[in-house]
Amino acid sequence: MPESTSNSAGAEPTRLAPLRERVSAPRELPLPAIGADLCWRPANRADIPVLLELMRGAGGVDHPTYHVARDKVELTFDAPNVTVERDVVLALDPSGRAIAYGSAIPAEGRETLVWVSLDGCVHPDRRGEGIGTALLAWQEARVLRHLATSDETLPGWLVSGAEENTTATIGLLRAHGYETARWWLELDRDLADPIPEIPLDAAVRVEVYGPQWTESTRLAFNAAFRDHWGSQPVTATEWEAGDKLEASRPDLSLVAVAPDADGVDQVVAFVTSTVGKEDWKPQGYSFGYAGKVGTLPGLRGRGLAGALLTRVLRAYRDAGFERALLNVDFESLTGAVGFYERLGFHTVRRSVSLVKTF
């Protein structure tokens, strides 16, 4: 079964004129000018410490149960699809404190659409001054420059997301033409509750995720999520970078393996885990996070994901964790919400993706 905030479109792409013929971009891209005391400039890797401080300060208001990890920020700065000095902007006050940042970053995978993610925040002390509005204008202009140079004959999506409680952010995006596209549920399960035993299909075997299964799991993930909303293929570079994050826990991740038509073992279902211990205190308990859960489309309905997930839940419990968390598309076409609810999960938070299309 699927999970997560995977990005997917599903249907075959509509044939369109190239984006460069459909999108007009400004000739110049001036930095935001709002805030008499603020110095706006392109960001660089040396800014990560002040940027991280800003993200955590804003996150304490916007997503208080989620701690921003330094290596995830570094991952953004090091990604091959990011030109930091053009795609990320930062505002500093006279003391050198970061007050706002924004980014406009195109996804690497482009199968059914060109997806550009908008991310950013304003320090809670400086909200209500129009900084967020000015920042969004810069981000959109940067996105237009991305799209106006693209030969892709695909839809272009500007995508941003927010927790349900961040009504000001959601209102700002809607006021600028972004439409609510998808709701995501964060689900929680108490590991003290009985965990069902789901037998494994005799045609497959369970393996602990590791380097020998990296590429096969990536291919299985791309196949499993190809028909989901907004989903674009994850590249090998992206996948390997995710595996290197400190929170990654291959020892608590499982794959189901079966031979293909040529007798070569391939991953047919998977559950991968992360453990961010810095999230335990704000969340109020220890937990493991099932970040990717899926089954090859042709093998859905055989209980593979359920058999793996219940084994992972027991591994979390054996590791001393109190709970398990995961995220799921509220409108998942495979009925994932009901699947997880039957396994004892329940909704604790909601977030939304908002999209402007070209």
pLDDT tens-digit series, residues 126-159: 999 999 999 999 999 999 999 999 999 999 999 9
Q: Are residues 240 and 326 in the same domain?
A: yes
CATH number, residue 308? 3.40.630.30
Q: Would 116 be classed as within a structural domain?
A: yes
Q: Which of 90, 89, 92 is nearest to 37 (CA)?
A: 92
Q: Would 199 be classed as within a structural domain?
A: yes
Q: Would 3 be classed as within a structural domain?
A: no
- Mean pLDDT by 10-residue block, N- to C-terminus, for the chain (358 residues)? 40 74 92 97 96 96 93 92 94 98 94 95 97 97 94 95 96 97 97 95 95 98 95 95 97 97 95 97 96 95 96 98 97 89 96 97
The domain total for the chain is: 2
Q: Would 179 be classed as within a structural domain?
A: no
* Whole-number pLDDT of residue 1: 36
Q: Are residues 149 and 204 in the same domain?
A: no
Q: Are residues 147 and 269 in the same domain?
A: no
Q: Are residues 250 and 111 in the same domain?
A: no
Centre a 10 Å sphere on the Cβ of residue 171 and count the other Cβ atoms it contains.
11
Q: Are residues 39 and 122 in the same domain?
A: yes
d(CA 115, CA 43): 22
114-122: strand order across its sheet: 39-42, 88-92, 98-106, 114-122, 156-163, 346-357, 179-190, 323-329, 287-295, 265-274, 254-259, 205-208
* Whole-number pLDDT of residue 9: 46
Q: Are residues 320 and 195 in the same domain?
A: yes
**Which range of residues forms the domain containing residue 266?**
186-351
- Rounded to 10°, the helix 167-175/131-147 angle is 50
Q: Are residues 214 and 303 in the same domain?
A: yes
* Whole-number pLDDT of residue 333: 77
d(CA 153, CA 119): 25
Q: Are residues 255 and 132 in the same domain?
A: no
Q: Give the burial string for 107-116 (b: 16+ CB within 10 Å, else e).
A: bbbeebbbbb
Q: Would 263 be classed as within a structural domain?
A: yes
Q: Are residues 238 and 318 in the same domain?
A: yes
Q: Would 6 be classed as within a structural domain?
A: no
Helix (H, G, I), strand (E, B) or coil at 73: helix
List the beta bridge partners of residue 183. Answer: 352
